[in-house]
Structure 1
């Protein structure tokens, strides 16, 4: 079982940034995403951010020992 280590504000920020990172290449704004590599990379990062916000768990936080969750 994964122990939650993301607080509500952290989840909101991750979800927002994840949505922007996922949809920006589809809109091609700014045009840096004309390159397929950067477009796919941005979309993958966006999906990871959205997934971690959804499940309230960040593996990197676990490794570093950080928790923004207010309950334990």
Structure 2
């Protein structure tokens, strides 16, 4: 897998995932919506950790800075 996520993108995804987890923890969100948002939060965390987003590949998008060789 080639990296396609920049640091800002990873930070935003991590902050959103933590915010969703906190909303769930404090019972602000519940039921089906909570489960869907928690799944999204887990996906955000995983993609942040591996620096790769499959949707970016499908759309030919990248937030990663180009490296000069």
2:58 aligns to what? 63
Q: Is the 8 A contact 1:52 1:58 kept in 2?
A: yes
Pairwise CA distance, 1:11: 0.5
Partners of 1:42 and 1:6 in 2: CA distance:
21
Partners of 2:32 and 2:9 in 1: CA distance:
28
Q: TM-score under structure 2 normalisation?
A: 0.87
CA RMSD for the aligned pairs?
Answer: 1.2
2:32 aligns to what? 37
Count of residue pairs the alignment pairs up: 67
Pairwise CA distance, 1:41: 0.8
Q: Which has the higher helix share?
A: 1
Name stretches of at least 5 consecutive residues in structure 1 with no aligned partner.
none
Q: TM-score under structure 1 normalisation?
A: 0.84
Report 1:3-22 matches (<5 A).
3-22=2-21
